[in-house]
Structures are given as C-alpha cells and as structure tokens.
Amino acid sequence: MFKKILIANRGEIALRVIRTCREMGINTVAVYSTADRDSLHVRFADEAVCIGPPTSRQSYLSIPNIISAAEITNADAIHPGYGFLSENAEFSRICAEYGIKFIGATAEQINYMGDKATAKATMKAAGVPVIPGSEGLLESVEEGKILAKEIGYPVIVKATAGGGGRGMRIIKNESEFQKAWDDAKMESGAAFGNDGLYLEKFVEEPRHIEIQVVGDQFGRVCHLSERDCSIQRRHQKLVEETPSPIVSPELRERMGQAAIKGAAAIGYEGAGTIEFLVDKYGEFYFMEMNTRIQVEHPITEEVTNFDLIKEQIKVAAGQPISGQNYTPQLYAMECRINAEDPANGFRPSPGKITQLHFPGGHGVRIDSHVYAGYTIPPNYDSMIAKVIVSGQSRAEVMTRMKRALQEFVIEGIKTTIPFHIRLMDDPGFQSGNFTTKYLETFDFSGL
Ligand code: MV4
C-alpha cells in the first residue's frame, strides 16, 4: 500500500481524498496556490506545499510544480481528483516516468478516450451500442451531406477533441450544413488545436445516464449501477440521482453489461464512468467515457455503501476488486451548491461567507470545503458544497432534500440553494419524467 499520497487538487474533492487516506493510514500532501492558503485541504493534510500563484495554469495545472512537490515530499502516488490534471495524458505519463503512481488512467487510455471518434470506434468494436453516424472523422462537407441524407436530419457534428458540449453543432437540414460545419471546425481548431469532426444522428430530448465502473489490475470490471444526470444547465450538471426514474432492472442490466464490456476492452483499471444517452424509446447509446472520479460519485457511494476513493487507491496499489455488480436498494440525490446567482443567469458570486450552518440529520451528507469566514476566491469553479441525501424511495429523498436545503444557512454570497428548493417542489421534476432540456424552460425568476 502507498505510504504517502499527494492530492493534486483543491476544494471539496481534495478534502474527500484526504479523509479516505486518513482512514486507510496513508499520509497526505496537499498542494495549494497562494489563493488557497487558508483552505481546509491545506490544514487537514499532513503536509502542504505551495505550488504557485492563483492562476490555475501556474499552480494546479503546472506539471513541473506538482511533480516537484511530490519529489520533495517523497510521495509515492498522486490522486488528481476531477478537473485540472485528472484526464491529462502527459501528466499520467510523467508520473509513470518518475515512478509515482498516478491514481487514474494510463496516458494511452486517456488519449484513447479523449479522442471522441476513436473512443466511439473502440466502444463499437467492443459491442457497445453507439449512435448511427460517420465511421471516424468526416473527410469533407460533401461526405457529411451524403451521410446526413442517408441517416436523416437532424444530425449533429461533433469535435473529436471536444466533449462536455464544446465544438458541436446541430444541423436540421442540408441548407444549414455548410455553416454548421465551418463554425464547428473553426471553434474546435481554436479551442483544441484539432479540428477533426464526426457526425451522428441527433437524438432529440434524451436523458443523460451514466454507469459507474471499477476495474482492477487482474482484468476484472464491475459496475455500480447508474446515475441520472439529466438536470443540467449549459452542460453543467446541477442535480444527479440514483437509481434513474426511467431505468428498469432489465435496462440497468443491459447498460451495466455494455459499460463493463467497454471498460474491459481497454483494460480499464480504477474508477471510471461510461456516459450514455437514452432516447425516448429506451434505447441507449455510448456518448463518452470519463477516466476519473466524478463530482457526483457520492450518490453511488451512499446507495452501494462503497468508498469509491478507497476502491481507486486499493486498485492502484494492485489489490483486487470484489467483482460484484450492484443492484440498488436505496435512493440518493445530490444537489450542487454553487456560489452563483440563479435569478441572474447563474452569475458567479464569489466573496466572503459571513454566516454558515450546514444541514444534518438522518440520510444527509455534506461534502464541502467552506467554513464561516472563508472567502471564495474568484479564480476557480464556483461549486462550494454538495448536499447528498439518501432514503428508501425517490419521494422520501426529495422531501429530505428540501428539508436539508431549508436548513442550510449561508450568508454573504448568493447560491443555487433557492433554485434547488424550487426544483424539489416542481411537479415536472417530481414526476421523474424530464429530459436534458428540462431547465431550458424552467422559471428562474425571483429566486
Ligand atoms: C448528443 C446529443 C444528441 N444527439 N449527441 C452534450 C455533451 C456531449 N457529451 C454530447 N452531448 C450531446 N450529444 C447526439 N447524437 C445531445 C447532447 C446534449 C446533451 C447530452 C447530455 C446531457 C445534456 C445535453 C445537453 C445538450 C446536448
């Protein structure tokens, strides 16, 4: 087992990793930018190293600074959390070169899954359902138009280097094709330095449902059921829940087996997520694979009674997983609390938290790094807490979530709490019958 893990991240996920390390008897090294001097991850870790100024590029994204911190503290592994360097192939490769275990995917796997057209081809070859479309990249607009006519409009062109909704264009008919193509090419070239595009049938009003998998060094992969992440705004998830209101035991089994096949095909080790779109007919299609721990992992932890960070660390250290797939017995939901003003376009609201009281009680878990008197720096993402609630039914979880959100006291900044309270009371959300477009027509006024 590792003796010392460096956590190459900040905020709640850095704390989350430190907590599990403590329980496992593993020493921890925090790294921090000068903006995070007063952060809890710095105080809770056994050691802390300053890695640069507030700008992410010069601190949490600086590979030389982080490797230096690992070297001087003699860390034998690095946990990257999510975001920052968690899916950076170069960082994974350099860690391996320095004999530091990267608790995440290999450089090869990251490159494979980071190129969406390659990922799709790999999954298709493994027998995972994919959305009808081009075989690999499109060579020309003409090829795209011919294919679109064949599969039928609407279609979508996507940047192979994209993901998370960047570099895509929906095309409703042939007259729109040229402009959409040019725009997507321009945008992806500028954003990713790679303007390769592929084409798919556009799936209208889908659900976003992802399967959590864990693989070990012995080639075993198991799945821990699904998370429904359809409640999003501009590709930012706001609420996640498990089990999904629309996933039957039979669909769960098929999606779980597909996810296992996909992960096994690339020899995946550690925790990963296979994202699917589910259409209105209940057909599911591979979308992307995330080779990291995700923000929403706690809902899976609550219903499975598994510590996913512990599983990541154990697997990275060469220990086997139990190899049991999981059937849900409980319900869990997560609301992301962001320092944003939901009544004003979710405008960031950094600043000092003057008063703070977290909710508690049965079935309530708070993962957060903030405290009364803490100043939220403007440099990083605006998530300040996750309220995770579990219970015996979806109705109980929603009631409990509303109760917990009403107990939450936070002053000095605006947060997304009023939005979440309104959502818990919303008949459309309560019905469980919603798609990824749900928030496009939601009333955010007066929150
Ligand atoms: C799609 C799609 C419909 N049809 N692909 C958005 C993020 C990126 N991972 C892929 N995305 C989509 N791909 C086809 N063929 C609709 C989306 C999409 C979406 C997917 C999941 C959750 C929210 C979404 C919001 C807008 C578009």
Please state, in angstroms and rounded to a whole number, the distance separating the CA atoms of residues 372 and 138: 53
Contact in structure between 218 and 320 (CB atoms under 8 Å): yes
* Six token digits for residue 428: 């459309």
Closest CA to 197 of 214, 210, 178, 219: 178
Looking at the CA of residue 155, tell me the nearest atom of ligand 1.
15
How far is the centre of ligand 1, averaged over its atoms, from the C-alpha of 403 (Å)? Answer: 32
Q: Whose CA is nearest to atom 6 of ligand 1?
A: 165
How far is the centre of ligand 1, averaged over its atoms, from the C-alpha of 165 (Å)? Answer: 7
Residue whose CB lies within 8 A of the most ligand 1 atoms, among 168, 209, 227, 294, for a mutation test = 168
Closest CA to 12 of 87, 61, 81: 81
Amino acid found at 254: R
Q: Whose CA is nearest to atom 15 of ligand 1?
A: 202
CATH number at residue 170: 3.30.1490.20
Kindly state whether residues 194 and 219 are assigned to the same domain.
Answer: no
Kindly state whether residues 196 and 222 are assigned to the same domain.
Answer: no
Residue ranges around ligand 1 (CB below 6 Å): 131, 156, 163-165, 200-203, 206, 208, 232, 235, 277, 287-288, 436
Query: Is residue 21 scored above 90 in pLDDT?
Result: yes
Kindly state whether residues 244 and 97 are assigned to the same domain.
Answer: no
Please state, in angstroms and rounded to a whole number, the distance separating the CA atoms of residues 202 and 181: 15
Give the residue from 201, 228, 252 where a domain finishes: 201
Contact in structure between 332 and 235 (CB atoms under 8 Å): no
Please state, in angstroms and rounded to a whole number, the distance separating the CA atoms of residues 141 and 147: 10
Contact in structure between 210 and 286 (CB atoms under 8 Å): no
Q: Whose CA is nearest to atom 5 of ligand 1?
A: 202
Q: What is the pTM of this model?
A: 0.97
Query: Is residue 207 scored above 90 in pLDDT?
Result: yes
How far is the centre of ligand 1, averaged over its atoms, from the C-alpha of 173 (Å)? Answer: 18
Burial annotation 194-228 (CB, 10 A radius, 16+ → b, else e): ebbbbbbbbbeebbbbbbbbbbbeeebbbbbbbbb
Kindly state whether residues 185 and 334 are assigned to the same domain.
Answer: no
Kindly state whether residues 195 and 222 are assigned to the same domain.
Answer: no
Query: Is residue 163 scored above 80 in pLDDT?
Result: no
pLDDT of 164 = 74
| Tens digit of each residue's pLDDT (9 = 90 or more) over 89-115 | 999 999 999 999 999 999 999 999 999
Report if residue 163 sits inside a domain: yes
Please state, in angstroms and rounded to a whole number, the distance separating the CA atoms of residues 254 and 364: 31
Report if residue 110 sits inside a domain: no
Enclosing domain of residue 371: 207-441
- Which residues does 105 contact at the CB level (< 8 Å), separation at least 6? 87, 92, 113, 268, 269, 270, 272, 291, 292
Structural domain total, the chain: 3
| Tens digit of each residue's pLDDT (9 = 90 or more) over 236-287 | 999 999 999 999 999 999 999 999 999 999 999 999 999 999 999 999 999 9
Looking at the CA of residue 200, tell me the nearest atom of ligand 1.
15
Percent of the chain with pLDDT over 90: 97
Please state, in angstroms and rounded to a whole number, the distance separating the CA atoms of residues 111 and 332: 33
Report if residue 302 sits inside a domain: yes
How far is the centre of ligand 1, averaged over its atoms, from the C-alpha of 120 (Å)? Answer: 14
- Averaged pLDDT, 126-143: 96
For 424, the enclosing helix (H) or strand (E) is helix 417-424
Kindly state whether residues 273 and 325 are assigned to the same domain.
Answer: yes
Give the bridge partners for 30, in sequence order.
7, 48
Give the residue from 103, 131, 150 where a domain finishes: 103
* Six token digits for residue 128: 């995972």
* Six token digits for residue 46: 């056994």
Report if residue 111 sits inside a domain: no
Report if residue 314 sits inside a domain: yes
Report if residue 325 sits inside a domain: yes
For 203, the enclosing helix (H) or strand (E) is none
pLDDT of 13 = 98
Give the residue from 103, 128, 154 where a domain finishes: 103
Q: What is the mean pLDDT of the chain?
A: 97
Residues written for the chain: 447
